């Protein structure tokens, strides 16, 4: 059964950077597409980024493109989200999500999200 | 990006009631539609994929229907554990997008 544990959240000042991690276990991490999804307080879900199983392909939401970078370390079963130039609008609970459907490119179908971590809270505040 | 619109934003219902939530896409997404249940302080839980395929182990009182642009999540005979927020998501194309959620509250 897929197990995902996010970490790295906390309070960060506007304009600064933060790196989130997601430790994966109990499944074949290197065979899964991986995503980040966030939820601002009291708001709906917002998909942010996807990375292919091998790490060679990524795709981002417009809201984070150029500021956030998704990456993975398959030997260490870990997913990352590097977040730069943070603003108050980035305050949210950040979830990592595993999908059996791999990311094949921006013209492919996306995926439904069957396996979620518990989330890590990022608060951007001075 | 495809826009997903849910209605109503919230509803009040009693245990045993039948509840229907609607999700509309602003372009056809075939049947690439998922429904999630989220309880306070918890991660979303996938209920239904491909518009009508109930995830394994989930109660049959949850059902989904629709195709193209209009979709429905129905909960027959609402139970106490069903009070939560329900969100739809299209996965027809990137970026995947969610509806704003429907909060099901106790009347």
Selecting from B1, B91, B100 the residue whose C-beta is nearest the C-beta of A111 gives B91
Tokens of B81: 């554990």
Q: What are phi and psi of B82, to 5 degrees?
A: -90, -10
Over the stretch B14-73, which tens digit does the pLDDT of each residue have? 999 999 999 999 999 999 999 999 999 999 999 999 999 999 999 999 999 999 999 999
Min Cα distance B71 → chain A (Å) is 15
Selecting from A43, A47, A109 the residue whose C-beta is nearest the C-beta of B95 gives A47
How many Å from the N-terminal Cα to the C-terminal Cα in chain A?
40
Min Cα distance A76 → chain B (Å) is 24
Would you tell me how many other CB atoms lie within 10 Å of the CB of residue A38? 25
Over the stretch A40-99, which tens digit does the pLDDT of each residue have? 999 999 999 999 999 999 999 999 999 999 999 999 999 999 999 999 999 999 999 999
Q: How far apart are CA A48 and CA A41, in angstroms?
A: 16
**Nearest Cα residue in chain B from A48:** B95
Q: Which residues of A touch B91 (CB under 8 A)?
A: 109-112
Question: pLDDT class for B107, splitting at 50, 70, 90?
Answer: confident
% of chain A at pLDDT higher than 90: 96
Q: Which residues of B touch A116 (CB under 8 A)?
A: 43-45
Query: Taking CB atoms and an 8 Å limit, are B46 and A114 in contact across chains?
Result: yes
Q: Which residues of A touch B89 (CB under 8 A)?
A: 45, 112-113
Over the stretch A10-19, which tens digit does the pLDDT of each residue have? 999 999 999 9
């Amino acid at each position: 059964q897929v197990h995902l544990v996010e970490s790295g959240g906390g309070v960060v000042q506007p304009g600064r950077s933060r790196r989130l991690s997601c430790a994966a276990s109990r499944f074949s991490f290197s065979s899964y597409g991986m995503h980040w999804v966030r939820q601002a307080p009291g708001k709906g879900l917002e998909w942010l980024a996807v990375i292919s199983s091998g790490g060679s392909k990524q795709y981002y939401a417009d809201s984070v493109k150029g500021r956030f970078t998704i990456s993975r370390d398959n030997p260490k079963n870990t997913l990352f989200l590097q977040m730069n130039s943070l603003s108050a609008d980035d305050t949210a609970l950040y979830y990592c999500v595993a999908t059996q459907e791999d990311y094949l490119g921006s013209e492919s179908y996306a995926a439904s999200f069957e396996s979620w971590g518990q989330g890590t809270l990022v608060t951007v505040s001075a | 990006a495809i826009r997903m619109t849910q209605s109503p934003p919230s509803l009040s219902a009693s245990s045993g009631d039948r509840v229907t939530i609607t999700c509309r896409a602003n372009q056809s997404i075939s049947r690439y539609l998922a429904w999630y249940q989220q309880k306070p302080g918890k991660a979303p839980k996938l209920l239904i994929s491909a518009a009508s395929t109930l995830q394994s182990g989930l109660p049959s009182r949850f059902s989904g229907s629709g195709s193209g642009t209009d979709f429905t999540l129905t909960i027959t005979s609402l139970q106490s554990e069903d009070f939560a927020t329900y969100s739809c998501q299209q996965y027809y194309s990137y970026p995947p997008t969610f509806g704003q959620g429907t909060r099901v509250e106790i009347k």
